[in-house]
């Protein structure tokens, strides 16, 4: 429970920071040093543990033992006990509805902001050719275009926000069925059997497994590495099955490495 609460709050904090940077144009990154990040993460986990403490201790929304799993889980079955109903309805509203609506609003505002900027964008004029100085190489090295640097920074921020949006959508997709089914079961609208409940739990906990793969697949270098490894495997299998096959015929199918890095981080 504490892990789910902390994940939701952490994603909301990241979404708010992205909203302030992209939409409000507030430079808040220089304020986030290591000490302040430690304080923010500690506060998130403190709130998460404090919110799950009543159910763990047992004085509000007490956990019940499930013989099928051999662990103590929240009592999601319909009960007339207001002690359970008030606690689970409250945490569902706070940690699922409110926090996820905040994150969704931030990413929606970022999407609208990026879309409006692209529509208003005017094709940049061709840069004037720099005058060649025969004996001044240092001047060419030090010269730069601030507009180009800002454009590259904006594109990098767009890629970062896209990856964070994918992580948020993955979290929302994995937790939404369990949250909705749990709320409907508490109100005695539906009744879940053990198989359905197990599928919902597997889908919910798969979110922590998918996030690292989303980050890795967002890297151009990592995708090029996967393509080169796959090509090497195909090459080895082809030469093993047909030793007379010329290597030059297979080299033509090799992936061309990208010269420009599109890594998000």
Task: Give 71's strand partners.
Answer: 66
Give the pLDDT of residue 43.
93
In this prediction the pTM is 0.64
What residue numbers bound the domain in which 197 lies? 2-119+154-218
**Pair of tokens at residue 135:** 């004996």
Within a domain: 125: no
Residue 147 forms part of a structural domain: no
Residue 135 lies in a domain: no
CATH number of the domain encompassing residue 112: 1.20.1070.10
pLDDT digits (tens, 9 = 90+) for 32-47: 788 888 898 899 999 9
What are the φ/ψ torsions at residue 43 (nearest 5 degrees)? -65, -40
**Residue 138 belongs to a domain:** no
> Same domain for 87 and 109?
yes
Has residue 174 been placed in a domain?
yes
Verify that 114 and 235 share a domain, yes or no.
Answer: no
Distance CA 221, CA 215 (A): 12
The predicted-structure confidence for 118-163, as pLDDT tens digits, reads as follows: 666 544 544 444 444 444 444 444 454 555 555 555 676 677 777 7
Q: What's the number of domains the chain is made of?
A: 2
**pLDDT surpasses 80 at 115:** no
Are both 34 and 163 inside the same structural domain? Answer: yes
DSSP three-state, residue 118: helix
What pLDDT score does 47 carry?
A: 93
- In three-state secondary structure terms, 72 is strand
Do 265 and 197 have their domain in common? no
On the CB side of 41, CA atoms within 13 Å amount to: 7
Q: What is the mean pLDDT of the chain?
A: 72
Q: In angstroms, rounded to a whole number, what is the distance separating the alpha carbons of residues 156 and 2?
A: 33
Please check whether residue 140 is in contact with residue 54, taking contact to mean a CB–CB distance below 8 angstroms. no
Instruction: Judge whether 60 and 28 are in contact, CB under 8 Å.
Output: no
32 phi, psi to nearest 5 deg: -95, 80
Question: Both 99 and 15 in a single domain?
Answer: yes
Q: Select, from the ranges 36-45, 55-64, 161-170, 195-204, the one with the highest average predicted confidence (pLDDT).
A: 36-45
CA dist., res. 42 & res. 108, Å (int): 28
Question: Are 165 and 260 in a shared domain?
Answer: no
Q: Is residue 223 part of a domain?
A: yes
Q: What average pLDDT does this structure show over 55-82?
A: 74
Residue 30 neighbours by CB distance under 10 Å: 6
Q: Do residues 164 and 209 share a domain?
A: yes
Examine the domain organization and report whether 15 and 26 are in the same domain: yes
Distance CA 93, CA 40 (A): 22
57 shares its domain with 170: yes
pLDDT score at 263? 47
* 3-state DSSP assignment of residue 65: strand
Place 261 in a pLDDT band, splitting at 50, 70 and 90.
very low
In a domain, 43, yes or no: yes
| pLDDT 10s digits, 155-191 | 766 777 777 777 778 778 887 888 788 778 777 777 7
Q: Would you place residue 206 in the very low, low, confident or very high pLDDT band (cuts 50, 70, 90)?
A: confident
Same domain for 231 and 214: no
Question: Which position has the token pair 């921020």?
Answer: 157
Q: Does the pLDDT value for residue 28 go beyond 50? A: yes
In a domain, residue 144? The reply is no
Does one domain contain both 179 and 58? yes
212 and 84 both lie in a single domain: yes
């Amino acid at each position: 429970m504490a892990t789910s609460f902390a994940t939701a709050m952490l994603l909301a904090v990241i979404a708010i920071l992205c909203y302030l940077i992209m939409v409000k144009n507030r430079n808040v990154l220089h304020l986030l040093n290591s000490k302040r990040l430690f304080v923010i993460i500690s506060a998130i986990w403190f709130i998460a543990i404090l919110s799950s403490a009543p159910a763990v201790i047992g004085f509000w929304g007490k956990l019940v033992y499930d013989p099928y799993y051999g662990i103590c889980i929240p009592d999601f079955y319909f009960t007339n006990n207001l002690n359970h109903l008030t606690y689970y309805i409250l945490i569902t509203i706070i940690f699922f509805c409110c926090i996820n609506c905040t994150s969704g609003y931030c990413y929606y505002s970022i999407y609208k902001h990026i879309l409006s900027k692209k529509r208003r964008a005017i094709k940049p004029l061709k840069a004037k050719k720099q005058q060649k100085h025969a004996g001044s190489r240092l001047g060419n090295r030090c010269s730069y275009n601030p507009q180009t640097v800002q454009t590259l920074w904006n594109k990098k921020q767009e890629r970062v926000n896209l990856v964070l949006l994918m992580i948020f959508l993955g979290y929302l997709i994995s937790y939404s069925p369990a949250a909705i089914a749990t709320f409907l079961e508490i109100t005695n609208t539906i009744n879940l059997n053990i198989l359905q409940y197990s599928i919902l739990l597997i889908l919910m906990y798969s979110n922590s497994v998918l996030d690292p793969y989303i980050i890795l697949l967002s890297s151009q270098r990592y995708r090029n590495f996967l393509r080169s490894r796959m090509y090497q495997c195909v090459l080895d299998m082809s030469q093993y099955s047909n030793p007379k096959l010329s290597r030059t015929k297979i080299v033509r199918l090799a992936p061309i490495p990208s010269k420009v890095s599109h890594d998000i981080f």
